[in-house]
Structure 1
Amino acid sequence: MKAISIRQPWAGAIVHQSKRVENRTWKLPASMHGARVLIHAAAQPDRHAIVYGPHLDVYGAIVGVATITGCHWAEKGRLCGPWSDDNAYHWTLDDVVALPEPVPAKGALGFWTPNEETVNAVLRQETGVAW
């Protein structure tokens, strides 16, 4: 299983709010279309972001799981929702589940593979979602 690191408050907005698009400068690899991925709250926040709500203060941990259902490029003014940015690839997310307890993990750029201990700690949590 792969993971993707996302800065807070965006990781928290994905797993605890209605953010169902991840804005990226790079296109989703074809092999990741339809993949179930771990959502990792990066160690550093996006200091320019303004999002309010609970669960946005967790850093350096797996906080949820999601399925990446698609990817498209958004030209200026062609946004697919309130969380989307201009001139970015929009990765669409579905079947998002927040973990009851964040699992500490060191993240990385791009898609990365968590160690077995981290994956097992995620799998032990009752999320109600089949892997």
Structure 2
Amino acid sequence: MKALTLRAPWPFAIAYLNKRTENRDWDPRTAELMGLPWILKAGEPIAIHGGTPPKRGKNKGWREFEAGFEAMVEMAGGMLTPEAEAYLKGVMDSGPMQLEHFILPGIVAVVTVTHATRGTPLDDPWAIPGQLHLLLNPVFTLPTPVQCAGSQGFWTVDEETEYQVERQIARIPVPKTGVTLQDWYA
């Protein structure tokens, strides 16, 4: 199983807020080196991994997280999935809401990258113009994140971690895309 590590709060947005477009600043050569053509052709699920949590304070990582959090709230438009409502209810039952509750390290979801495009998908507030958009569908949120180290770009999940992820997944339908390299170079 391949995985893609994201900075907080974007794993939360994919797992709980219907973020179905992942933005990458990759040019076509970088995307090819990262293995995107293979991932599109294979149509196999990939894991969404939350990277190292930023430390609260006046450091660059925390400022980037706060800015991302504000953007996430605006893009979500107040729409919560049933999974998000259950997660937030559980958090609120355990005490006051903190920004740290939106930082999810480890593998939090499994998705299929069905398409990649540089054009902005219609009616998608998550797509950043000019970037490469990875369209994610379906998305399966894991009941319990699986802790593991990640890496930049697409990387291969070790066997034990993959086993822990697969134990939480009953079955994910995998649509075959048939996308070629030319489809996403445009």
TM-score by length of 2: 0.62
Q: Deviations over 1:41-75 (max 9, x none)?
A: 1114542212347462222x00010000001113x
Q: Matches of 1:21 and 1:6 in 2, distance apart?
A: 13
Alpha-carbon deviation of 1:110? Answer: 0.7
Stretches of structure 2 lacking an aligned partner (at least 5 in a row): 55-63, 74-83, 89-100, 175-186
Q: What is the match of residue 64 of structure 1?
A: 109
Q: What is the match of residue 17 of structure 2?
A: 17
Q: Secondary structure at the match of 1:58?
A: coil
Pick one of 24, 33, 37 that aligns with 1:30: 37
Q: Matches of 1:118 and 1:89 in 2, distance apart?
A: 28
CA contact (8 A) 1:35 1:67 kept: yes
What is the one-letter code of the residue matched to 1:68? V
Q: What is the match of residue 142 of structure 2?
A: 99
Aligned counterparts, 1:109-120, within 5 A: 109-120=152-163
RMSD between superposed Cα atoms in Å: 2.0
What is the one-letter code of the residue matched to 1:67? T
Q: Matches of 1:117 and 1:100 in 2, distance apart?
A: 18
Aligned length: 127
Q: What is the match of residue 6 of structure 1?
A: 6
CA contact (8 A) 2:11 2:104 kept: no
1:79–1:123 CA distance, 2 compared to 1 (3 A): closer
Aligned counterparts, 1:45-84, within 5 A: 46-47=64-65, 48-49=67-68, 50=70, 51-52=72-73, 54=88, 56-59=102-105, 61-74=106-119, 78=120, 80=122, 81-84=124-127
What is the one-letter code of the residue matched to 1:20? R
CA contact (8 A) 1:15 1:64 kept: yes
Q: What is the match of residue 41 of structure 1?
A: 50
Q: Secondary structure at the match of 2:162?
A: helix
Q: Secondary structure at the match of 2:164?
A: helix
**In terms of mean alpha carbon deviation, does 108-117 or 45-54 score higher?**
45-54
**Higher strand proportion, which one?**
1
Q: Matches of 1:71 and 1:57 in 2, distance apart?
A: 26
TM-score by length of 1: 0.85
Q: What is the match of residue 108 of structure 1?
A: 151
